[in-house]
Structure 1
Amino acid sequence: MSMTDSTDGWDVLAQAGELARRGEAFALATVVWRQGPSSGKQGCRAIITGEGELRGWIGGACAEPAVIREARQALVEGTPRLLLLGSPEQFGAAVPEGMTVVPISCQSEGALQVYIEPVLPVPHLVVVGHSPMAHTLVALAGSLGWHARLVEHTELDVVTERSFVVVATQGHHDEESVEQALAARPAYVGLVGSRRRGASVLGYLADRGVAADELDRVQVPAGLDLGHVSHREIAVAILAELVRIRAARGVPPGPPEPGAAAAPDATETVDPVCGMTVEVDAPVVFEGHEYSFCCAGCRAEFLRDPGAYTKKESRC
């Protein structure tokens, strides 16, 4: 789904700041170069959400679906990319290394360069307890730019689906803290303590009716196994485990919230007229096969002589 409006570049940046403050994932697309004729201008900007909604303006009917598709993939991978949109014949071997060429050869000989930057929420760490290890863990996470805070066992209402929760209450309210944390379905729940202590806590919660699949989500003991280490080194081991989990997922921790990054749907095909990758939408059926198009121009061109394009496709 996409939605274009007359929002100018500065309004788009204001909206981007608001989305970032709310902790929502999005990509910011900016036109950095154009070759006329093209409706996109240098400095045009747009926000693309994980659901594929576009706010702003980066170009017309050919450019927009390509930018949305690449922006959603950038959100999944967490890496920026520079797109060169136009006919491959326009550029030949002159394309710089690392730039992605996307064909948009429909109604124009224009071209665009669009820089796409994914903006992902800062990780949210909640540490329950006030031990020296807990203070060290919060300080270390803060040095990475994470949003980290110490809370009491009575303050777990701050936990969301994106949170990493570490219970470090040292035997005081362990069971209550773990149960309340699990109720919020966070991305991670870890309990600081021995395996024996962990088995006791989880057994108590099982007797209270907490589902087995929920209890299986609790990491006991929390952190990478570094052997016999100090309290401060335990904090390092826990943070290392959280960094590894986040990096392996390649997306903000936790189940996706509305508007969060998600992998593009596997509903893409190739426009038989221009060769552009497009989403399947209101396809034309010809000889039992469905064909989708990037714009009305390609659709009309196909309908004028479908056989010409299907024969070309069969030769490929």
Structure 2
Amino acid sequence: MTSEHGRSLDEMAADLTDRRRPFARATVVRAQPPTSARAGDQALVMADGEMFGFVGGQCAVESVRQSAVDSIAAGEGVLLRVLPEGAETYPETSGARVAVNPCLSGGALEIFIQPVVPTPIIQVVGDKPIALAIVDQARLLGWAVSRVDPEAAGVWEFTEPHGVVASIIASHGGDEAAAIRTALDHHVPFVGLVASVRRGATVLDAMDLSVTDRACVHTPVGLDIGARTPPEIALSVLAAVVAAIRRDGLAGTGAPEDAPAVVEPRREVDPICGMTVMVSADTIEYDDESGSHWFCCKGCRDTFVARSAGGLQAAQ
């Protein structure tokens, strides 16, 4: 199956993954005639709703686009059941979502949508046992890890400048302030300093941080679990990072510089069938004296135009 510029969807997915661009893969797992899709048909959906590939007609496409965008934002897969109006519905359960489309010509679809979100990156400054334990445990979580030599803490550059969710300084001395400053300058949302309460406060007080920057720095870093050994301390540190990710939805340091800004897609209601559609450059639109209107398909637009023309003639 091909996508943009003749590339296969697999090639496109590999490229997006390499460039750390979030997307979702939608796969038809069941199709009931007379739907045009077949089991195994696939599409890739970007975070802004742009789609490549084929998973059915326009009515099914709108449901897939919206579910995929929501799936990417939540970081969770979903089984989408697309049903024509009047069909026997399925109960909505965890991990499943039902879309009843009035304009669907018949048949039903089940489509599994799997988000592919860039792996979080954690930077660890230090070469002592606690730093090494943090590195080992972060890898067990499936994160990408970059360990920084504490001797270069003041001049180091991120080997992966995009997607860093946390920088942990566990050098136990050295130029910790320079390491913190570098992380803040790269807009890392969670910066942790492994230190005692007194030493951590001393380091931060000497830096004259802004209120915003100070809120990003955590010291002593880690949840209070009574940790004593390096592995236990590493566990408490990573637990604090995970808690921040889940609680605050930490994003990394951003998409690559060549990535277009992701804007939450605009959603409008088709005035004919009542379906919610995502507004993009290729969304069917019709403008009249009452304003702009968007439609799931040409049939709905033509019906709207005909009704508008009929109402205008009656008024005359």
- TM range, normalised to the smaller chain? 0.7 to 0.9
Alpha-carbon deviations, 1:10-49, whole Å to 9, x = none? Answer: x212322332233322110011122233332221111112
Contact 1:161 1:184 in 2 (8 A): no
Larger deviation, residues 140-149 vs 267-276: 267-276
Partner of 1:198 in structure 2?
200
Cα distance, 1:253 vs. partner?
3.2
Aligned residues: 299
Larger deviation, residues 221-230 vs 108-117: 221-230
RMSD: 3.1
Partner of 2:183 in structure 1?
181
TM-score w.r.t. the length of structure 2 is 0.82
Which of 34, 38, 42 is the equivalent residue of 1:41? 38
Cα distance, 1:257 vs. partner?
2.0
Partner of 1:214 in structure 2?
213
Aligned to 2:58, the other structure's residue is in SS state coil
Aligned to 1:148, the other structure's residue is in SS state strand
Change (3 A) 1:16 1:202: same
Larger deviation, residues 110-119 vs 126-135: 110-119
Residues 1:157 and 2:154 are matched in the alignment: no
Where does structure 1 lack aligned partners over 5 or more consecutive residues? 310-316
Larger deviation, residues 108-117 vs 15-24: 15-24
Cα distance, 1:199 vs. partner?
2.3
CA–CA distance in structure 2, aligned partners of residues 170 and 79 of structure 1: 38
CA–CA distance in structure 2, aligned partners of residues 103 and 7 of structure 1: 33
Partner of 2:298 in structure 1?
296
Contact 1:278 1:292 in 2 (8 A): yes
Residues 1:240 and 2:239 are matched in the alignment: yes
Contact 1:7 1:55 in 2 (8 A): no
Which of 71, 74, 80 is the equivalent residue of 1:74? 71
Change (3 A) 1:261 1:113: farther
Query: 1 or 2 for the larger relative contact order (CA 8 Å, sep ≥6)?
Result: 1
Where does structure 2 lack aligned partners over 5 or more consecutive residues? 312-316
Aligned to 2:124, the other structure's residue is in SS state strand
Aligned to 1:28, the other structure's residue is in SS state strand
Cα distance, 1:95 vs. partner?
5.8
Residues 1:305 and 2:307 are matched in the alignment: yes
Contact 2:83 2:89 in 1 (8 A): no
TM-score w.r.t. the length of structure 1 is 0.82
Identity %: 32
Alpha-carbon deviations, 1:57-102, whole Å to 9, x = none? Answer: 2223222222111101001111111112231312x14567554221
Larger deviation, residues 229-238 vs 281-290: 281-290
Change (3 A) 1:159 1:198: farther
Aligned to 2:206, the other structure's residue is in SS state helix
